[in-house]
Every structure is written in C-alpha cells, then in structure tokens.
Amino acid sequence: MDRASRLTFLGLAAAVATALVVFGRSASSHADVVAPLDPATVVTTLPFAANDSRRREIAELRRVLAKDARDLRAAVALARLDVVLSRERADPRYLGHAEAALAPWWSAADAPPEVLVLRATIEQSLHDFDAALATLDRTVAIAPGDVQAWLTKATVLTVRARYAEARDACATVEGLGAPLAALVCTAQIDSLTGHARDAHDRLSAASARASGAERQWAVSVLGEMALRAGDPAAAEAHFRMALDMDAKDAYSRGAYADLLLDAGRFAEAISLSSDQESNDGLLLRLAIAEKRSGAEDAAAHAAALGARFDASRARGDVVHRREEARYWLELAGDPSRALALAKANFDVQKEPWDVRVLLEAAAAARAPGEAQAAIAHVERTSLEDPAVAQALGRLR
C-alpha cells in the first residue's frame, strides 16, 4: 500500500470498523491467469481464512445484490470492504470486485457522492490519478462538504507532488471540522518539502490526544516522518506502536521492514515479514532480507515473487511498478529493467521511495542521466530523506 492508499484509508476503515479480518492468499494465487471469452464469467473467488468474520458479511451483501443490483446501501458497503481488502493484501483484484458492485452507477451522470468517492478511491488505487482527480472534482462540486472526497483529493495531489493544490484541499478538510485529518494532510506535505522535523513534532503532539483508528493512522504516518527527519529510533517506536494497535497494518509493517533492511538487521526483517507472504510488498522485503543474509529460502521466495509480477502484468496491472523495480534491482539482477520500471513509476507518482528507487536503479545501471527527473524533484522540493540523500551520493 502506498501513501495515496494509506491516507485515504481512515474513512474506509471507519466504514467497516465493525468487521475484523484475517485472511490470506496462497503463494501461487497470482500464477494462474485466465482470460475468459465472456466478461460475465467468474474467473476466481479470492480466498478467506476459515475464521474470517468478514467472509459472512461479504456473502450476505452479495446475496442482497443478487436480488437487487441497485441496492445502494449494500453496493457501497461491499465496495468499501473490497477496497480495504485490496489494501490489506496489496491485491488489485479486489478493486475489480469493488467496481463490479458499483457497476449500476459507475458511469451514471447522476451517481451519488458516496459512489463517486469510492470510484475515485479505486482509480487512485490503480494509479489512474488523473481520472481520480476528475472524479473527485465532480464529487466536491455536488457535495462540497464531503470530507473524504477532499482528503482523497489532497492525497492524490500530494502523491503527484502538486503541493500547493494539495494544501488548499487540506485547508478545506480542516474547515469541514476534521482537524486531525487536516493536520496529517498538511504535515505530510511539510515533511516532503524541507520541514520534516517540525512536521513530525506538530503531528506527534496532536496524535497524543487522539484515539482509535485516527491515532493508529497518525502514528504510522509519524514513523515515516521520523525517518525523513533522520531519527530511525523514533521511527521504529512509531511503527511498533502502530502494529501493536493494528497487527494487520501492512503499510506500517512494510515501512518498518524497510527500516530494518536499511539498518542491516536482516534477521529481524525476516521475522517481521514471515507468515505475511500473501502480501506482495511484504514478500519482497522478506526475499531481500533473505538474500542479503544468505538465507536458504531466498531463491524460492524471489521466484514466487517473480511469478506474481508476471501474472500481474498479464492481467494488465501497473500498480506494483515500484516494487517490481526493486525486485529486478535487488533480486533478479537486471538494473536496466529496474531502471525502466522506476522511470515509468516516477512518471506517475513522486513519493520518497519512488525517488529513491529511480536513483538507485540509475546508479546500478550506470546511467545517471536517466535520473535527472528525480534529482530535479529533490532540488525543487527540498526533500529531506537520509536514504534518498545516500542514493544521490552513490549516483554522483
């Protein structure tokens, strides 16, 4: 899950807060790709663990929609669940399920705001950011008080590095009575534009007064901010706290695993990522930690990850280009292919890891000129990030 997904997670988490989920996907579930002749054909049913309470909820919602596909309440509830599941499992196929639930209103001129927000969320999750912004503009035109729409818009603009417009959207969120969400929104921008320490300290003070899903969300964001401020010890404390509050938070787990990898703490990274192989991002961290430490499972896990990326491309998915670039750079030993993916990824989104992987791939491919866009971005935004700074040093 990237930052765009993470920052819009709060509203979706609240919408499904009554459900607890622990479900998995087999390591080979990406490998079989089927292209049906009839688009109505059900190719696969994504699996759940036997003790997954949301399995029953989803089944019931599908029964309701089977009787009446235009039951808006059921369709929105099911789509929200599918979006959350996609983020928890880093599996874009759930987004297809969400879109299917919203099909009666997807292209309708009079689609209700709740459908439009979910449509934009799905579009940005698929990295179709221009479409997401167009949908969000349409949403706030008919529902100017929709906090989730404004927050999602601010998030997409931030990922695209359109920071001035993002600040305006954050200000609207605050004006609509969501102060912590607005602070996370603006603090993220500040932390990406040369004010990492100040942004961290402001959000830290505010998050101490929050509770529940809001606090867990803010604490996870604080971990990233602390890393950018050059304080890995504080970042580790934040990530540990976030996972104590929600062990299923794959975003915090992945960021924490990256911290451990950068620190050379490979055994801890393996422990943190083990038994999480159903998530492609966590399998990536696991395989990297195993390779760096010489663990015997490294080759098998790298091969499994490669098969998943092959299957993802066959489905036309492009949401994992950053992760696939890391795969070719660290595990498959093809820096030229990693560089091509990193450049394509950077054209779409410009988060610190997008910058870093492009710099690292260009250095490994001995093609520093290919990273000029990333270098210009760092200079233009005054991005503070020790790992990015190290990557720049290696490139130069």
Distances (CA, A) of 293 to 41, 282, 301, 311: 45, 16, 14, 28
CA distance between the termini of the chain: 30
pLDDT digits (tens, 9 = 90+) for 307-330: 999 998 888 888 889 999 999 999
- The pLDDT of residue 21 is above 50: no
Of 26-35, 278-287, 314-323, the least confident: 26-35
- The SS3 of residue 383 is coil
Burial class from Cβ neighbours inside 10 Å (0-12, 13-18, 19+) for residue 63 reads exposed
- The answer to whether residue 254 scores a pLDDT higher than 80 is yes
3-class secondary-structure state, position 51: coil
pLDDT value of position 161: 97
> To which H or E segment does residue 88 belong?
helix 72-89
Is residue 3 predicted with pLDDT exceeding 90? no
- DSSP class of residue 329? I
Q: Which residue has the tokens 């993470």?
A: 6
Say if residues 46 and 94 touch (Cβ distance below 8 Å): yes
Q: Which residues contact 23 (CB under 8 A, 6 or more apart)?
A: 47, 48, 49, 52, 54, 55, 85, 89
Instruction: Render 249-276 in DSSP notation, one character per residue.
Output: -HHHHHHHHHHHHHTT-HHHHHHHHTT-
Q: What is the pTM of this model?
A: 0.85
* pLDDT bucket at 26, cuts 50 / 70 / 90: very low
> Predicted confidence band at 52 (pLDDT cuts at 50, 70, 90)?
low
For the chain, what percent of residues have pLDDT higher than 90?
76
pLDDT surpasses 80 at 53? no
Quick one: average pLDDT of 64-82?
A: 96
Residue 75 confidence class, pLDDT cut points 50, 70, 90? very high
Q: Are 370 and 343 in contact (CB under 8 A)?
A: yes
Average pLDDT of the segment spanning 159-172? 97
- More reliable by pLDDT, 384 or 54: 384
Mean pLDDT check: name the lowest of 75-79, 257-261, 308-312, 351-355. 308-312
C-beta separation of 236 from 227 below 8 A? no
The predicted model gives 376-380 an average pLDDT of 98
Does residue 119 contact residue 85 with C-beta atoms inside 8 Å? no
Mean pLDDT of the 375-395 span: 96
Q: What per-residue confidence (pLDDT) applies to 197?
A: 96
Q: Distance (Å, rounded) from C-alpha 191 to C-alpha 196? A: 4
